[in-house]
Every structure is written in C-alpha cells, then in structure tokens.
Structure 1
Amino acid sequence: MEFIEFIKTPMVDGVTLKKPFCKPVEGTLCITGHHLILSNRKTNKEELWLLHTSVDSVEKRLNGPGGVIFVRCKDFTLLSLDIPSAEDCINVAYSIEQLSNIDDVTLKYPFFYRPSFEILEDGWQAFKLESEWNRYKDCADEWRVSSANRDYKLCSSYPPSMFVPKGITDEMLVKISQFRQNGRFPVLSYYHRDSKAVLMRCSQPMTGTNGKRCKEDEKLVNAVLGIGKRGYIVDTRSLNLAKQEQKNGGGYEPEQHYSMWKRINQAIERRHVFHESLIKLNEACTDTTASQDKWLSKLESSNWLSHIKDVLTCACLVAQCIDKDAACVLVHGSEGVDSTLQVTSLAQIILDHDCRTFTGFEALIEREWLQAGHPFADRCSKSANAITKQRQESPVFLLFLDAVWQLWQQFPCSFEFSEDFLMLLLEHAYSSQFGTFLCNSDQERKNLKLNTRTVSLWSYLNRPEVIAGYYNPMYDPNPAVIWPSVAPQSLHLWDGLYLRAQVNQVKQKEAWTEISKIKEYDKELRSKVAKLRRQLTSLEKEAVSAGVVLPTTLDGEVK
C-alpha cells in the first residue's frame, strides 16, 4: 500500500488554524504519509506538526465556497482548519480519516522516524529482567528466574523470563500454564523488603463447573507462604461475575484446595465499561452550554471518578495486606491484563518510594504493563471521540495514569516527576514517533524487531536536558508508604487533561514556573550558606592553630 493513495490534495494554501487559547494562524497545509503540517509563510514557522495516529475523529462542515474541518485528538486536544475551497476541504478530511486508521503497524511513523539527537542510553536495554534483579535480590533464596517461556509457548503475553518460586520446576509451569486462562500463571510482581511479603499476579484459574484442580498450581501458590502464614487472593471481579465465568470454563480458587489463602472479591468494572464511561466524561467536558448543575450531573453520571475510586481502593487493600499484615497477595481478575495490572502497579507506587521517581516509574511501566502483556495496540487504538467502536479498545492505561495523578495531587512532594510527565506518557501510549508502546505483547515486539527498527521512548526521555523539563520542583524524597484518601471529596477531575481545550492552563503553568524559580533560588542560597560555613570552620581552625583566642558567646560558640 502507498500513502499517496489516500492523499488527494497534498498541499492547500490559505488555511487558517484555530486552537483553544491561541490566535488563529493562516498558512499552508501539507499532508504527508504520517503528519499534518501547517506552516506560516510570513514567519516561516511550523505552527502544527500532528501525527495522523493522534487523530481520534474528523468532522467536516461545508460553508459556502469553503469549509471547516474539526480534528479531535486522542489526548483530548482540539483544533479546527478553515479551508477556502469546499473540494479541498472534502479531500483533506478524507485523507486525514484514512491515514489515521491504517492498521498495518509497520506503516506507522516509528518505523520511519530517525532521531535528531544522540542516543546516550538504549532504552530497549534499560529495564531488562537481569537489571531488575537487584530489586529482588533480598528474596533470591526463595525465587529464581525461569526461562520456560523463552519461545512463548507457555504464554504468548508473558516475556521469555520471569521470577517464580525456586521449588517450582519448568515442567510444573507447563501444567500450571494450562490451568490458567491464556497461560498466565502466577509470577512475582513485587517484593516488599520491610515486611518480606510478595505480590503476585496471574489470570483466573480454569476450574469450570466441575471444580477442576491443578496440584502444581496449588503448590506454586502455597510455596510463597512461610510456616503458619496466610495469604490473600484479591479478585478484581465481583463474586457473581466470578461464578458466571465459572460456567464458561473459568472460575476462582476453591478454599478447600487453597486453604492457607483468604479470597477477597474487590470488584472493579470491566474494560468496556471504562470506555463507555470515558465517552460520557468527554461529552460532559465538551458541553460548553451546560449549566453548572447539569455539568456536575453529567460528570457524576459518567462514573469515571467512581472507577478511579474502585481501583485505588483495591490497590490500597493490597498495599495494606502487604505492609500492615505482612501477608503475601495474589491479584487476578479474568485475563489478568487490565484491572490486575492497574492494581499491582498502584500498590507498588503506594508502598515503594522508588516507584515515585523517574527511573522507578519507567521501570514500573516496563515490567507491569509492557512486559506483562497489556495489549496497548488494541486498548489504545481509539479514544473518547471515535465514531466507530473497536471491540477491544479501552482506556485502561489512561485510568491508571489518572489514579497516579490523584496520588500526585494528594502527595505533591513525594513524586519526582510533574503532571506533564504523566500527560506525556499518555500521549505516547496513543500516538508516538517511538516504538515503546507499539503492539500488544513482548512477543509481537520481538517478531517485528522493534529494538532495532524503532527508537525507544526511554532513550529520548532519559536525556538530562529532556527529563529536567518534567521535574517536580516540590519533590522531597519520601521513603514512607503513602496512604491516599479515596473519599469522593478527595478525588478530582484531571482538568489539565480532560478540560485542556476548555480551561486555559497558562496561569497554572506560570505558577509552577515561579515555584521552580523559588526552589532554585533556595537551593543556591543553601549552597552559599553551606560554603560560608565551611570557610568559617576552616578559618576557625587556622586561628586556633595560630594561638588566636576567638570571642565566644555564653554557649561557647564563636561570635
């Protein structure tokens, strides 16, 4: 397929670009295979450089001799293009619509992108399992690295190597993978150094209505418990839903075979409900004619904040079991690739201050989302404005980032990164020049050789001059566990994201810039004071050695 097939009009003059809170700009619109570009001929400045994959929906309105194209993006940005010719308007709208819906992953921009910066660190190698071993070295006596899935035959959505209990052989893992949905057997997700408890994740057991057993699975799950210890199985489904899935061959762990484990059903809605909720939220946020009461009613009926509350509540439960009860926890829902990952990731952010740093958070996303098999290609194919619905799409990762933002709001000094960093990750998850979030699994990325054919997002982000722009000036390293409030009054709408086209964020950004300046001035002042103190101490020593008697205060300090 050639991109030229979809580009009927590659260039249009006299196009006016309108974006919220920006002055209209007239220029020349160019359509390439991957970008929509508008350049201002008066200033020779590129006013728009938009990836087609960023586009969620396109709407055209003809008006006399010309027309207007409204472009709604997956990251909730809006823009419009006033085109003088009706024919050009129709052609441009058609091109954007077609180019933004190309399914062939190898035709996407990351395969054509060539970085203009020097790659100091290969992001594809930054968070390999071997480098993450330091995180688990304290439990090396009980756990080992298994390569039983090196050919992806046990589980297509797992990476080749994983941490499993030492007493579990690779032959046993074969049988266990056959007992868990899609082969997602229990693996180590996190080890808590303080309580010595572990967090595991997997998919549902295929017990069915006949109560099928797998003794190898029972042995693996029980292997993580010490003598006399009990653990918790946190099921992200309601008990009724778990029983319904039992009729379709799924199910849950029966108490008689997992007697040392207490099962807790902490219900989180399914992924299709998230998508419907986001659509309603977006409708509320884009309705500029609604009264305040009606807007609040729409926001509440979307249930978006309720879903965040449910996910955070479940994550807090898991964190409490691990930190307060020193109990091991196994988390799963049905497939183990959506709500399961939300919960295990948030629990680690609550428990571990390292996950609240740049590198720690990137490592968390890598191991708990990318390597753990969250299907980004399916879930992030469209967003809230798409006219056509895909069966697999869902804002699961967006909901996770929103929950992280809620934690960030409640503990603004405990995170090394800023709000903009979370928004940047969201944008790249939906559309990017980098290959990090492409495909649905590690296997698919390996088959397409993304590590040699595309550039990693981490290679770009972790450059000092880039990462500095996302630093949180309020950051003060906090090694303690953070316990968020999930009360309704403590959860807020992320207006910097969902209302970015309705609420001007300039004042807020100016405030953060001022805070950064104050913190930098304070840092410089402290440095100067410390330097003066060192100089004074040195002078005091020289004076004493020379026999000079220095005047002192009543407390014995030198005046």
Structure 2
Amino acid sequence: MEFSEHIKTANVEDVVLQQPLHTSIKGTLCITGHHLLFSDREEESCQQVLLLLRNIDAVEKRATESSGTIVIKCKDLRVLQLDIPGMEQCLNIAQSIETLSCLNCVAEMYPFFYRPSNASPQDPWGLSTPERHYAEMEELHERWRLSTVNQDYSVCASYPPAVIVPKAIGDDALKKVAKFRQGGRFPVLCYYHKKNGTVILRGSQPLTGANRKRCLEDELLLQIVIGDSDRGYIIDTRSAQQAQQARMMGGGFESKSCYSNWKRLHRHMERGKTLQESLIKLVDACGDKSPNMDRWLSKLENSKWLSHVQTAMSTAGLLAECVERDGHSVLVHGSEGTDSTLLISTLAQLILDPSCRTLEGFLKLLEREFVQAGHPFQQRCSHSAFSHARIQQECPVFLLLLDCVWQLWRQFPLALGFSEALLLRLATEAYASDYGTFLCNSDMERCALQVKDKTHCLFRALLKPTEREQYNNPLYEPNELAIWPSVHPQSLQLWRGYFLRWTQQTRHLELVQEEIRNMVIEWGKISMNCVFSKMNLILVLISTACLEFMKSFLYTLKPKLREKI
C-alpha cells in the first residue's frame, strides 16, 4: 500500500504552529509518508519543524465551519498545536496523521527509508556480537562455552543465536532445560565478576506447575554454575504470592528440595499495565499547570513512579551485593524474563563493572542486555503516556532503566563517561527513531525482516566523532570500584530533564549545564580569568534555583579544576 493513499491533504498554507519554548509562527504544513513538516517561509526567521509521525502518540481535533485546531501529543512528551484554516482541511490532516502514525508494518517504518549522509553501507550493524563478547573474556573459557544451540531460533525465539553456558552442560540438555523454562529462556550467563569469579545468569520462570514438575537437567545446570560453592542466590522479581499464583497457571519457582544450594529471594517489581499507568499519571502531573503545591505533590505521589525507581535500584543493588560482597553467583528471573529481569541485570552490571560506565561500554551493555536479549521494544514502546488506545502490552521498562541510570549519573557525576543528553536521546529513540536498533521484539524478528541489512544502527551513529562529543562526560574519571547508589527517598529525584524537558525552567537549567560543560572542556585552552568571568556572568543571569544547582555541580568538578577555580 502506498503512503499517498493515506494522505487526503498534503499541503496547507497559513497554518499557525504553537510549540513549547517558542513563540507562535505561521507557515506551511506538509505531510509525507513518515514526517510532518512545518516551514515558516519568512526569510528573516526561516524556521522549520520536522516531526517523525511515529513520534505522535495522540491526536485531538476541534473544528468549526471556518477553521480547526489539532493538538498533537508526542511520545517524547511534547505537545504541539496546529491552527488550520478550513474545517475540511483540518479533518483531513488529522485523519492522515492518525493513520500514518499508527502503521504497524515494520517494513514500512522510516528506518527502512532513512539514509544518513555519514554512514557507509560497509559499516557493521551493531557494536558487538555474543561471539565477540565471549572471545574478549578469556577468563571464562575454562568453565564456560559459547553454545549455538539456538542458531535457528528453534530453542528460544527471544534469544540470540549464540549464548554463553557452562562447559559441562551439552546442547541436548539445554534443549530440555528450555522446555522447562517460560518461552524457552533457559539460564544463560550475562556477567562474569573478575574479582571473585562469580557470575550473573538470567532466564525465565521454571514451568513446575501445580504438580511440581522437575527437570533434572535444569537442576544440574544450576549446580554446575556454583560448583563447589555452598550457596547461590535466585532473585525472583515477583512477590512470593505472585510466584505461588503462577504455579497454578503452569509456571512456578525453584523449590528448596530440588535446588538445595540455591536461596530464593523475592523482590516484587511492578510491570505491564501497572507500570504504564504509573507513567501516564506522572506525565499528567507534570503537565498540570495548577499552581497548587498540595495538588502537585499529591499527583506525584499517586503516580508511584519514584517508588518504581527505588524498587529497581534497590533490587539491582541487592544483586550486586550478592556478587561483590557475598561472593555468590546469582540467577535472576521473573515470569518471562524479558522486562524486570533485564532491567536489574543491566543496572547491576553498571554498579559493578567499570567497563560498562564508558560511553561505548554503556551502549554495548544496552545492546547485549536489551536488544540482543529479547526485550520486546515494538510491543512495550508502541504508545507512550498520551495515547487513548487501551493498554495492551505497552510498558515503559526501558524508560525506567534510563531513569535509574540518570539517578546513578546524578549521584556519581565523575563515575559515568556519558552525559544526560545521551539518556534523553535514547529515551526518545526507543519510541520513535530514524534507526533500526529498537525495531521488532527479538533478534529473530530482526533477522526475518532484514533489519540489520536494510536499516542503520543507532549505537554506531552515537559513537561517530561528530556525535560522541556531545554525549561524553567531560568530568569522567575511571573508577575501578563498584559504585553503590543511595536508594533513600531523599536521594531520589524526579528526572526533570525528561519529564519536565519542555518547560521554561528546565530549559534554563539545560543552558546552564551546557555553559558549564563548555567551560570544563575548554578550561585547559584558555586562561582561568576568562573562565571566572564567564562564571560571574552566569551567576548574574540565572535564578536562585539555578545557582544552587550550579554550586552543587561545580563542587563535583575534578580536583585540579576545582583548585584552580
């Protein structure tokens, strides 16, 4: 089907655009198969707005006989308003936008048509592969191997073709274990702790059912993992009650009698509809223009979003403690093992592994733990917080991860090699992107649709010299130690850079951050007198709130720079 069939009116003149942080402008509105283009043709201003239609979450329209208004609510939380002359033109534009923004055929999405000028057809699609990741960890090779049991995706549809498993377990046994685990997600290694040789595995729930079925191969696999150790931990991201209920539905958990050397810890993490509704409530609170403080605090509390952040970070901290401080291997799973499991395994590695805290290391971690490991991006990020559609499989797990990483970044401003700008970019790209990285729900689907052959990789684009400069943290100092975040309520804050990103106050803070960033980058190139003059100018121009932010930020500067200032 041609995109033109969905476009009833392609161009409209004299449209007035109202958007956050800008004054209203009049110009020409144009609809293409993938974009909404607004152009102000006055030579003095010459403003253009290009909006990917996939970024549109909801469209609301009001029309009279002579004109109409369309309110566009985006997945990146922007709200745009178009005042269009003519009722018929308004309704045509609204219908075209609604249809084109909801096309579900992956092969028709913009990443298949996007051709960046600085990309080469010879560029590899991703940053790494399971094979390369295994080859780089030579210390694993004695006890662990790379299995291609899933090379045709017949054992587990959501796993990549190659996974790391114990050397002492054969592929035939793995196939039996896969049948015993939800969705075929048998336990696989995702992290090796060099300090003490312990590991983190992830998988899905065992299918014990009401009859308490057993799988000897599954029990053997987990026993091989801990070897001579007397203890291993299983972190179940469900409550004990939920795990019991799952048993009545055919699922279940590892019993003490069959897994005697493994201690099960339940840490209830919300998922699915509950998490999606929490995001909706938070965005509603952030968009409330009422000056009533009690109303704002009540809405923020009722959203429970920060509670989810706290739970995720504390569970990841528990996982990291089991490995680093207790010296025991850990298996993580919930039900399917594609959401909360990946969330806390990723956060735990960020806490433990300094190589995951560089810009490239963090992107490799996301590629390994979310993209390759089978997080269903297509389902989870189908809609954001504004959609009027009934919640089905939408769930902001990836956004919750980025929020948790931002909390880490704020608490340890020198320990992470990337900036908040990277997290904001990733949050936007997960819902609507020019690149194919977050398309589909698994590696198998990407292979079937030739995503890696016909689209470009976001992570590689972010590492190009022209891009990575704005995503590097100029204050970064490598730290070989684990970083232990505080999860006390007073330590966690609303991620205003994302949830309040289209407000004037947040824009002021962004300008201050950018100015400080530029100063830090250039401090060695120019005299400190010049730096001091710039700082004095900022102090005069910004508000008291910004001053407090700046003082706390400057305090975290590298010691040498702090001494000179």
Same fold, TM exceeding 0.5? Answer: yes
Choose 496-505 or 403-412, whichever is displaced more: 496-505
Structure 2, gaps ≥5 residues long: 528-565
Q: Can you list the C-alpha shifts for 1:409-429, whole angstroms capped at 9, x where unaligned?
A: 111111111111011111111
Percent identity over the alignment is 48
Structure with greater Cα Rg? 1
Pairwise CA distance, 1:121: 7.5
Query: Hey, what does 1:80 align to over in structure 2?
Result: 81
Do 2:134 and 2:146's aligned partners in 1 also have CA atoms closer than 8 Å? no
Task: Tell me the residue number matched to 2:5.
Answer: 5
Q: Please say which of residues 155-164 and 517-526 is displaced more in the overlay.
A: 517-526
Partner of 1:395: 396
How far the C-alpha of 1:231 sits from its partner, in A, is 0.7
Amino acid of the structure 2 residue aligned with 1:455: H
Q: Distance in 2 between matches of 1:397 and 1:503?
A: 26
> Does the 8 Å CA contact 1:18/1:80 hold for their aligned counterparts?
yes
Matches within 5 A, 1:94-493: 94-119=95-120, 122-289=123-290, 291-493=292-494
2:540 match: none
The whole-number CA distance in structure 2 between the counterparts of 1:158 and 1:234 is 20
Matched letter for residue 38 of structure 1? F
Residue of structure 2 equivalent to 1:556: none
Give the match for residue 14 of structure 1.
14
Moved more, 2-11 or 125-134: 125-134
- Per the TM alignment, residue 287 of structure 1 is displaced from its structure 2 partner at its CA by 1.1
- In the alignment, the residues of structure 2 paired with residue 294 and residue 174 of structure 1 have an alpha-carbon distance, to the nearest angstrom, of 55
SS in 2 for 1:440: coil
Match of 2:40 in 1: 40
Which amino acid in 2 is paired with 1:143?
W
Residue 282 of structure 1: how far off its partner (Å): 1.2
- Root-mean-square deviation (CA, aligned residues, Å) is 1.6
CA contact (8 A) 1:120 1:463 kept: no
What is the CA distance between 1:522 and its match in structure 2?
3.1
Tell whether the 8 Å contact from 2:375 to 2:441 is kept in structure 1 after alignment. yes
Distance, in Å, in 2 between the alignment partners of 1:46 and 1:207 is 61
Match of 2:24 in 1: 24
Partner SS state of residue 56, structure 1: strand
Aligned to 2:546: none
Distance 2:410 2:263 in 1: 33
Q: Give the partner amino acid of 2:464.
A: R
Runs (5+) with no aligned partner, structure 1: 527-559
2:46 is aligned with 1:70: no
Contact map agreement 2:233 2:328 (CA 8 A) in 1: yes
Q: Is the 8 A contact 1:120 1:459 kept in 2?
A: no
Structure-2 residue corresponding to 1:546? none
Query: Given the superposition, is the C-alpha separation of residues 84 and 59 from structure 1 closer, same or farther in structure 2, using an over 3 Å criterion?
Result: same
TM-score (norm 1): 0.92
Q: Deviations over 1:324-351 (max 9, x none)?
A: 0111000000000000000100000011
3-state SS of 1:343 partner: helix
Residues 201-247 of structure 1, C-alpha deviations (whole Å, 9 max, x = no match): 00000011111000100111111113133110000000000000000
- Larger mean Cα displacement after TM superposition, 141-150 or 405-414: 405-414
Cα distance, 1:144 vs structure 2: 0.1
For 1:75, the aligned partner's letter is: D
8 Å Cα contact 2:146/2:162 also seen in 1: yes
In 2, the alpha carbon distance for the partners of 1:501 and 1:309 equals 25
Cα distance per residue 1:53-108 (max 9 Å; x no partner): 00000111225621221111111112111112222111111111111111111111
Distance 1:228 1:453, change over 3 A: closer
Partner-residue secondary structure (3-state), 1:83: strand
Q: Distance in 2 between matches of 1:29 and 1:228?
A: 67
Report the TM-score when normalising by structure 2. Answer: 0.91
**Could you list the per-position Cα deviations for residues 376-412 of structure 1 after superposition, in whole angstroms to 9, with x for gaps in the alignment?**
0000000110001241111111111111111111111
Give the length in aligned residue pairs: 527
2:419 aligned partner, one-letter code: S
Compared CA separation, residues 391 and 375, structure 1 to 2 (3 A)? same
Q: Distance in 2 between matches of 1:134 and 1:25?
A: 56
Asked if the contact 2:131/2:146 (under 8 Å) is kept, the reply is no
- C-alpha deviation, 1:129, in angstroms: 1.5
Deviates more, 1:444-453 or 1:454-463: 454-463
Does the aligned pair in 1 maintain the 2:271–2:395 contact within 8 Å? Answer: no
Larger deviation: 335-344 or 447-456?
A: 447-456
- The change in CA–CA distance for 1:520 and 1:500 in structure 2 (over 3 A counts) is closer
State how far apart, in whole Å, the 1-side matches of 2:356 and 2:248 are. 39
3-state SS of paired residue (2:125): helix
